[in-house]
Structure 1
Amino acid sequence: MPTTSPDQILIAVAPTGAETTKQDCPQLPTTLEELVQTAQECEAAGAAMIHVHIRDADHHPTLDQSRLRDTVQALREGTGLVVQLSTGGSVHDPLESRLKVLDAEPDSCSLTMGTTNFGDDVFSNPWPFVCELYQLSQERQVVPEFELFDLGHVHALRRLIDKFGLPYGGKVHCDFVMGVPGGMPGTAPALVAGVALLPGEVTSWSATGIGRSTLPVMLAALSMGGHLRVGMEDVLTLAKGVPVERNAQLVERAVAAGRVAQRRAMTPDEARTLLGVRP
């Protein structure tokens, strides 16, 4: 069983994602200015890490290198948050472009542990790609967050650690992404099963519930000593018919839920220690 912080909680915010369009959700932060402002609001509300997808001038998902670098720099200058870049991009991005994300020198990166059906699409993460990305993260001293969409991904994490050792920083942090159509359901029994199978090297874990599974997953994770990822990448409503207007609302709700569980939100510096992120 992984170690946890019984009186603290790491709250990561995923403010944008690659699926929702600006046209359908005008309040989604897609410009650099909007993203920095959102990050500042979320840090003030209690977030310690930001999981970043970026958009181009037309608000479409992109992995443009100059935009990635500018985003990392702006978030570092404007906030104290741990900056985690998504290496998933959108489901349509080629593997070569996804590997180059680490050229932008983030603190952390997502590393999805296997291919999964993603609605009508396929989110491709073949084993050779996973291995190459992991070794690149070790070489670049970027801390990976292992994204687990299914129980098979938990088993793949065991294989990866056995083959290549621990990540840079020596800590192993993973995030259960639950409720994606095609992945594991966003339920307490599914989370219990996933956590029970985690390798002993795992030092911390968080959980993310997509859409309607947001609250069940949040409450189950809190009850099990896990951490949380929230944000408009994962859910666009606070309740039925009540749209999210700001990502900070979702962070505030997570902080309040943590308070009920007698766990306070970590600072970014505490999160860096938890994750093994370089100073």
Structure 2
Amino acid sequence: MLQVCLNGARDRAACAQLPLTPDELAAAAAAAVGAGAQDIHLHPKNPDGDDTLDAAGVAAALTAVRAAVPGVAVGVTTGAWTTPDPDERAAQVRSWTVLPDHASVNWHEDGADVVATALLERGIGVEAGIYSGTPAAQRFLGWPHAHRVLRVLAEVTDTAPETAPDAATRLLDELRPAASPILLHGTDAAAWPVLQLAASLGLHMRIGLEDVLHLPDGTPAAGNTGLLDAAHDLIQQARTPLR
């Protein structure tokens, strides 16, 4: 499965093409699905362009995107930067009037279990975000409901293309006891070698403006569709047997 991460916690200063509003997210989602994305991850924004878990903001983003790509699973963030207190974040999850198909929970953040439990109570799939170089894997694997998550997001924090694959391998070793499917991804320049590694291992993958703003050759990406096109090329290379 190839997931597209449409925007992330970025702003227009980082990327002029970044989709922020519900209409922009809908258009970006439609283009991404047309370019082969099979699942969508997005960050709802408030009018100032900041990430939000407010019920109205989540509903507006999800409603617009689902109208543009009916039948495609759509997920959101629950990152602590949106609302630092985990009990408040869990309360926001319980206030949602339109539910995502899944939501990511970062297990290096305090109170991840509180937020994840609120999601499970509402029937929302949990993507367990496990950052390399943090105690997240041990925290997650020690959670009694770890077996109930939709998938594990193995997130490689090493941004150096030369060393990120080794960091990814170590992270995957830590996550070996996990019972759920794994989506492996990297960030910045390391997004590309990590994506190739994920493809070669038959894991779920992800690409998009949240993770990287440049194509493999270093040129700026015009948008998510350009990143997806490049991803498909690398996936094909990774899966083509050497002759």
Settle same-fold status: TM greater than 0.5: yes
Structure 1 gap ranges (5+): 1-9, 115-124, 264-279
Alignment partner for residue 2 of structure 2, among 11, 23, 29? 11
Alignment partner for residue 85 of structure 1, among 67, 76, 89? 76
- Structure 1 residue 201 displacement after superposition: 4.2
Distance in 1 of aligned mates of 2:103 and 2:232:
24
Distance in 2 of aligned mates of 1:92 and 1:75:
23
- For the structure 1 residues 23 and 197, does the alpha-carbon distance in structure 2 shift closer, same or farther, using more than 3 Å as the test? closer
Alignment partner for residue 70 of structure 1, among 60, 65, 73? 60
Q: Which residue of 1 aligns with 2:113?
A: 131
Distance in 1 of aligned mates of 2:239 and 2:197:
15
State percent identity of aligned pairs: 24
| Residues 180-199 of structure 1 mapped to structure 2, 5 A cutoff | 187-199=164-176
Alignment partner for residue 110 of structure 1, among 99, 104, 115? 104
Which structure carries more relative contact order (alpha carbon 8 Å, separation 6+)?
1
Q: Which residue of 2 aligns with 1:38?
A: 28
Root-mean-square deviation (CA, aligned residues, Å) is 2.4
Alignment partner for residue 220 of structure 2, among 243, 246, 250? 243
Distance in 2 of aligned mates of 1:17 and 1:48:
18
Alignment partner for residue 257 of structure 1, among 234, 240, 243? 234
Letter in 1 for 2:25: L
Distance in 2 of aligned mates of 1:194 and 1:43:
29
Letter in 2 for 1:156: R
Q: What's the secondary structure of 1:61's corresponding residue? A: coil
Alignment partner for residue 125 of structure 2, among 111, 136, 143? 143
Structure 2 gap ranges (5+): none
- For the structure 1 residues 91 and 76, does the alpha-carbon distance in structure 2 shift closer, same or farther, using more than 3 Å as the test? closer
| Residues 169-208 of structure 1 mapped to structure 2, 5 A cutoff | 172-179=150-157, 187-208=164-185
Q: Which residue of 2 aligns with 1:166?
A: 147
The answer to which structure has the higher strand fraction is: 1
Q: Deviations over 1:23-63 (max 9, x none)?
A: 34221111111110100011111111111112222323333
Letter in 2 for 1:178: V
1:157 paired to 2:115: no
- For the structure 1 residues 139 and 199, does the alpha-carbon distance in structure 2 shift closer, same or farther, using more than 3 Å as the test? farther
Distance in 1 of aligned mates of 2:233 and 2:93:
34
Distance in 2 of aligned mates of 1:156 and 1:69:
31
Distance in 2 of aligned mates of 1:201 and 1:89:
23
- For the structure 1 residues 59 and 186, does the alpha-carbon distance in structure 2 shift closer, same or farther, using more than 3 Å as the test? farther
- For the structure 1 residues 165 and 190, does the alpha-carbon distance in structure 2 shift closer, same or farther, using more than 3 Å as the test? closer
Aligned residues: 233
Distance in 2 of aligned mates of 1:262 and 1:240:
20
